[in-house]
Amino acid sequence: MSARAPAPPLGSYLNDHLTGAFGGAALARRMAGTHADRRRAGELRVLAREVAEDRDELVRIMNRLGVPVRHYRTWIGVAAERIGRLKPNGTLVHRAPLSDLIELEAMRTGVEGKVALWRALRVVADGNPAIDPADLDRLARRADDQARLLNGWHREVSAEVLTRRDGAVPGRVSPR
């Protein structure tokens, strides 16, 4: 029996990000479809579309570089998003407010990883005519915009979820 050669670092790296991109696109789509706030739901639909476009762009870049897409990994990303729905959130019957915060943090983490991906690929593009550096710069700017949007929501959602109606922080003893 012969041992398989390890995958080149670039192939592994891109497939790792592609796995996350499939999970992130599924999460963004679900968040957009289930969010109670209409304004935020509309913004989430735009974000979900952009995340899916970024995922598809990553596949195109992988194809141009000759990096095979590990299709089983795409299913892992989607499965991870679905498993993430099974978190203990204090309620069994309906969506808990804490779900908004946890899912938002997962999206923030994914988008910040995507910023790092585009910047890392920018280094590869400098020596590889198969990748357009301008495209990577554009993708990095869009991911930065997405991160700013999510960071702004994080502040709002944290206040909504983690403070009581009277403004007190749960678990903090009020001064007498």
> Is residue 171 one of the residues assigned to a domain?
no
To 10 degrees, what angle do helices 97-125 and 133-162 make?
160
Region 87-93 average pLDDT: 53
What's this model's pTM, rounded to 2 decimal places? Answer: 0.77
> Is residue 169 one of the residues assigned to a domain?
no
> Is residue 152 one of the residues assigned to a domain?
yes
pLDDT of amino acid 89: 53
pLDDT of amino acid 106: 87
112 and 56 in contact (C-beta within 8 Å)?
no
pLDDT of amino acid 4: 47
In angstroms, the CA 41 to CA 32 distance is 5
Number of domains forming the structure of the chain: 1
Query: Does residue 7 or residue 64 have the better pLDDT?
Result: 64
Nearest to 146 by CA among 55, 48, 77, 56: 48
pLDDT of amino acid 136: 96
Domain extent, residue 151, equals: 9-84+95-162
For residue 7, pLDDT over 80 is answered with no
CATH number at residue 42: 1.20.1260
pLDDT of amino acid 3: 45
pLDDT of amino acid 40: 83
Q: What percent of the chain has pLDDT over 70?
A: 73
Read off the pLDDT of residues 48-86 as tens digits, 9 standing for 90 and up: 899 999 999 999 999 999 988 775 556 554 455 555 555
In angstroms, the CA 132 to CA 121 distance is 10
For residue 88, pLDDT over 60 is answered with no
For residue 117, pLDDT over 80 is answered with yes
